[in-house]
């Protein structure tokens, strides 16, 4: 049996991991086909239906200017997941490059790791706010800010794994016959990091979505009228007592996404552990 088949068999043993996979897959489907799934235009204003409670016509009710809350939540899934994937991508690419360079070139190791230590000295939320404050409040800058906070974790993980692989016989043999450093990193070192990277990416996605929603809640991320979950919660909190569905809907969907991603990450961590095969 192949390694992939063994990993999938191990993954299926965990019911919670399968539930997490179904939740994430469903939300990805909704995000991809948001324009077709949403029953109404998420930006369309209807002053005849201001803050209508949930009904058959508007399942999640309407907001203070008559926009359909469910449609905005569906459209927000695309924005929130895009923020998560792009932020994780920024942290992953930068962290992998820095980690490999630190492990392979001793002269760069001290410089890179001291830079990472400086980044880690700041609380992640404070660092996000500082980056957005420099770049300006917007969804794109929030992606960059969240991505920057993820760089230290990926760098340290890649460096630690690369250092253990660097001293192996096949890497030393490749260097002895004159194989270029870049080829050694890509072909011999990077594949050994895929398993822990996949797990870290999964957990990083949940953290990135939550951080981006927090920035939007503070007014530093998505800007009106974008249907982003954190921004929807921020705008709806002013009407929480009169129209609680404005906050409950986005809040619940954020919780479901974070829970699903974490369950998926736990399952992947167990499935990719060779000691359990």
Q: Which of 108, 107, 88 is nearest to 98 (CA)?
A: 108
Distance of CA 109 to the CA centre of its chain: 27
- Cα–Cα distance measured from residue 44 to residue 162, given in angstroms and rounded to the nearest whole number: 52
Q: How confident is the model at residue 178 (pLDDT cuts 50, 70, 90)?
A: confident
Residue 122 vs residue 275, higher pLDDT: 122
CA torsion 157-28-254-194 (nearest 10°) is -10
2-32 confidence digits (pLDDT tens): 666 777 788 888 888 899 999 999 999 999 9
Is the pLDDT at 95 greater than 90? The verdict is: yes
Per-residue pLDDT at 276: 52
CB neighbours of residue 68 within 10 Å: 26
Domain 88-223 classification at class level: mainly alpha
In terms of C-beta density within 10 A (0-12 exposed, 13-18 middle, 19 or more buried), how is residue 92 classed? buried
Q: Where are the domains of the chain?
A: 1-34+235-277, 88-223
Is the pLDDT at 176 greater than 90? The verdict is: no
31-87 confidence digits (pLDDT tens): 999 999 999 999 999 988 899 999 999 999 999 999 999 999 999 999 989 999 999
Is the pLDDT at 168 greater than 90? The verdict is: no
Q: Which of 120, 88, 31 is nearest to 265 (CA)?
A: 88
Residues in Cβ contact with 88 at an 8 Å cutoff, skipping those fewer than 6 apart: 147, 150, 201, 204, 205, 208
């Amino acid at each position: 049996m192949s390694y992939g088949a063994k990993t999938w068999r191990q993954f299926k043993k965990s019911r919670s991991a399968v539930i997490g996979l179904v939740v994430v897959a469903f939300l990805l489907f909704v995000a991809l086909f948001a324009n077709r799934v949403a029953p109404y235009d998420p930006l369309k204003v209807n002053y005849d239906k201001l803050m209508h409670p949930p009904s058959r016509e508007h399942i999640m009710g309407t907001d203070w200017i008559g926009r359909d809350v469910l449609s905005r939540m569906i459209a927000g899934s695309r924005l929130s997941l895009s923020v998560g994937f792009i932020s994780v991508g920024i942290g992953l690419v930068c962290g992998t490059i820095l980690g490999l360079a630190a492990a392979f070139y001793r002269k760069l190791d001290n410089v890179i790791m001291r830079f990472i230590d400086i980044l880690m000295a700041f609380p992640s939320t404070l660092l996000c706010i500082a980056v957005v404050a420099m770049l300006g409040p917007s969804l794109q800058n929030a992606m960059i800010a969240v991505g920057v906070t993820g760089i230290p974790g990926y760098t340290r993980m890649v460096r630690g794994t690369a250092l253990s692989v660097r001293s192996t016989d096949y890497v030393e043999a490749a260097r002895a016959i004159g194989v270029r450093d870049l080829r050694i990193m890509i072909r011999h070192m990077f594949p050994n990091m895929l398993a822990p990277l996949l797990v870290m990416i999964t957990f990083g996605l949940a953290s990135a979505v939550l951080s981006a929603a927090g920035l939007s809640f503070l007014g530093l991320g998505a800007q009106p009228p974008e249907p982003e979950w954190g921004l929807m919660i921020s705008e709806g909190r002013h009407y929480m007592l009169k129209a609680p569905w404005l906050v409950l809907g986005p809040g619940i969907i954020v919780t479901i996404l974070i829970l699903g991603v974490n369950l998926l990450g736990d399952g992947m961590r167990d499935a990719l552990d060779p000691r359990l095969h």
